[in-house]
Amino acid sequence: MHVDMDAFFAAFEMRNVPHLQGKPVIVGGDPRFRTVVTTCSYEARKYGVHSGMPVAQAKKLCPHGIYIKGTLKGYVYTATILVSIFEKYSPVVEPFSVDEACLDITGCHRVFGSVENLVNRLKREIKDTLKLTCSVGIAPTKLLAKMASGENKPDGITVMDREDFKRMFYHRPVDSLWGIGEKTKIALNKLGIYTVADLAMKKEKELSGHFGKNGEGLYVLSHGYDANEVHAFDNRPDEKSMSHETTMVRDLTDIDRIYSTILWLSDKVARRLRRGEYVGRTVSVKVRSASFKTITRDNTLAVPTDQCKIIYEAARKIIPREYGLKIPVRLLGVKVSHLTKKQTETQLSLLDNHTLDKLALTSKAIDRIRDRYGDALIKLAGTQL
Query: What is the C-alpha to C-alpha distance for residues 189 and 169, in angstroms, rounded to an integer?
Result: 17
Pairing of strands 25-27, 66-68: parallel
* Beta strands across the sheet bearing 134-138: 93-97, 100-103, 2-5, 134-138, 157-159
* Beta strands across the sheet bearing 278-289: 241-252, 329-341, 278-289, 294-305
Is residue 26 within 8 A of residue 109, CB to CB? The reply is no
Catalytic residue among 94, 100, 182, 229: 100
Query: What is the C-alpha to C-alpha distance for residues 353 and 351, in angstroms, rounded to an integer?
Result: 7
Looking at this protein, which amino acid is placed at residue 113? G
305 CB-near residues (< 8 Å, 6+ apart): 279, 280, 311, 347, 349
Pairing of strands 134-138, 157-159: parallel
Query: What is the C-alpha to C-alpha distance for residues 337 and 340, in angstroms, rounded to an integer?
Result: 9
Number of Cβ atoms within 10 Å of the Cβ of 300: 12
100 as an active site residue: the answer is yes
Instruction: State how far the alpha carbon of 126 is from the alpha carbons of 6, 120, 156, in Å.
Output: 12, 10, 13
Is residue 369 within 8 A of residue 377, CB to CB? The reply is yes
Catalytically annotated residues: 100
